[in-house]
Structure 1
């Protein structure tokens, strides 16, 4: 067997090789990242400080905002650093750390979306029993289960990912470290990793997606029976916007994670990754929270309170 050099550093290809695009991309993604941080921190702050928002629905929205904050912070700062400095080297240790936290947060969000859809189903389809069934104890248990399941799922993948070696191509065709990209450039056998990705990913993601769709199908059945047209339109619009986020999340994620052994390197793949690493953490607070009347009221009351205190 021919000797091969084992590399300790990898290289991120970034979003574009064109020098003229580096600064415009840096400014654009810096603005998006700052807006993502501000909006998600604003939602977390409002939910924590306003007693009117201390109900299960907003508890889940607060957790979602926290996960969006973390997901964006795992990948975007590294991308901004590369765009600004053009230093695309990353150690394998740093790369694996990024993989671990990104997979943990993105998996947690997938499971949380299913839990949130169940919460909406209970609130709309069983309003009289909602407060009894969705108690604080149940909500905390649901979120704890989501985080524990995500951690276990991530840990299983990381145990096998740490066995990968890199000795031929060390260029990751992305702007951040992600498991499918590591499988493509590994010179060791990654068939077990790919099998785990397809089986476990299909099982857990598929299960979460089915639960989400079943919840919304039952919600739509109830919505169609609402006699008040304005109220029906409002609930229908809210659920449709939520499902749009779900489609974008699972669509872009599936495109990336369920073809991990594909040998092609399309530029479009990077922009699909941008969708669930950059765009969705920005859109989630807009669609789930800032369109919500209670959140807007809490924000207005907080501003008025701060204004009067300043005077």
Structure 2
């Protein structure tokens, strides 16, 4: 009788545990708040985002096409730029289409799997950009500070290895935190006060203590951001030191112009990132955090191709020649 009672008690406990687990994982969809203050201007806001998205796709595609087709741009610097544009192309695509859809349809729902997928690719592509910015600064350091050794050091093999390591490193560094987040129980509420599935607002909705995952996420993020920032800063410290010792003013200006675009992009990129990571935890769902994230995820990928096109003389020459060729071909047809 005692054994029967104990067995029944164990069965009830197991059933209660299963029910509790089922209740904890009951959330299958999340609500993305977005920008509720702009609902009265949603059509205008949608059109602005549409223009930004189209320009971003066109700008980054143009950079990729120019580098791919013109042999004058077949050098390590432009191959890295091509990868940066490729990353920016998809980085924006991960966020903006869903945001624009929710604005037009007023459907702010996103499934659990779609949310986790968006989170992963957002951080995967963002991490690849951090690494690429650092790699490009190293490339400029070798080109300016060790110009005679540049063809030997930055060989085609090393360039390929750096690109492969960039994508593999970004893939591996983001995989572990994303898997940990995907295994968390979400039992409600399911409202994400953001315009996409960022990991920090998402962790606030979990039904368990997420301090360990937050530490893991912060460790990975700090390692990527700070190491990238350190390498970029050190590289440009030596670059600027070398430029200042060039006797000719024209030589200094010409040398500096070769890395001015990259300095501009890196400054914008790291400024937004530092703001996002130094903000107190309680502000991670605030409007200011969303504004900084908007600049980082939407505006920066838009500016990158235009900055490189406007500030890089060789890209300008190739672009103008390509435009003239296309215009001439169209004129001949008519």
TM over 0.5: yes
Q: Does 2:249 match 1:229?
A: yes
1:2-22 Cα shifts (integer Å, max 9, x gaps): 965621110001123442121
1:93-140 Cα shifts (integer Å, max 9, x gaps): 000011111111000000110000000000011111101110111001
User: 1: distance between equivalents of 2:42 and 2:264?
Assistant: 31
Match of 2:227 among 181, 195, 207: 207
Shift of 1:237: 5.5
Secondary structure of 2:282's aligned partner: coil
Aligned to 1:197: 217
Match of 2:157 among 134, 137, 143: 137
Aligned to 1:95: 115
Shift of 1:169: 2.2
Aligned to 1:34: 54
Q: Does 2:141 match 1:121?
A: yes
Secondary structure of 1:185's aligned partner: coil
User: 2: distance between equivalents of 1:156 and 1:214?
Assistant: 29
Judging by fraction of residues, say which structure has more helix: 2
Match of 2:301 among 264, 281, 301: 281
Matched-pair contact (CA < 8 Å) for 1:61–1:289? no
Calculate the TM-score normalised by the size of structure 2: 0.88
User: 2: distance between equivalents of 1:11 and 1:84?
Assistant: 15
Matched-pair contact (CA < 8 Å) for 1:79–1:176? yes
Aligned to 1:302: 322
User: 1: distance between equivalents of 2:291 and 2:244?
Assistant: 37
Gaps of 5+ in 2: 1-15
Greater Cα radius of gyration, structure 1 or 2: 2
Further displaced range: 255-264 or 147-156: 255-264
Taking a change above 3 Å as real, the CA distance of residues 258 and 194 of structure 1, as seen in their structure-2 partners, is farther
Taking a change above 3 Å as real, the CA distance of residues 122 and 35 of structure 1, as seen in their structure-2 partners, is same
Shift of 1:234: 4.4
Gaps of 5+ in 1: none
Shift of 1:181: 1.4
Matched-pair contact (CA < 8 Å) for 1:36–1:69? yes
User: 1: distance between equivalents of 2:125 and 2:173?
Assistant: 11
User: 1: distance between equivalents of 2:185 and 2:282?
Assistant: 18
Secondary structure of 1:11's aligned partner: strand
Q: What does 1:155-194 align with in structure 2 at a 5 Å threshold?
A: 155-194=175-214
Aligned to 1:24: 44
Matched-pair contact (CA < 8 Å) for 2:283–2:289? no
User: 2: distance between equivalents of 1:263 and 1:284?
Assistant: 28
Shift of 1:238: 5.6
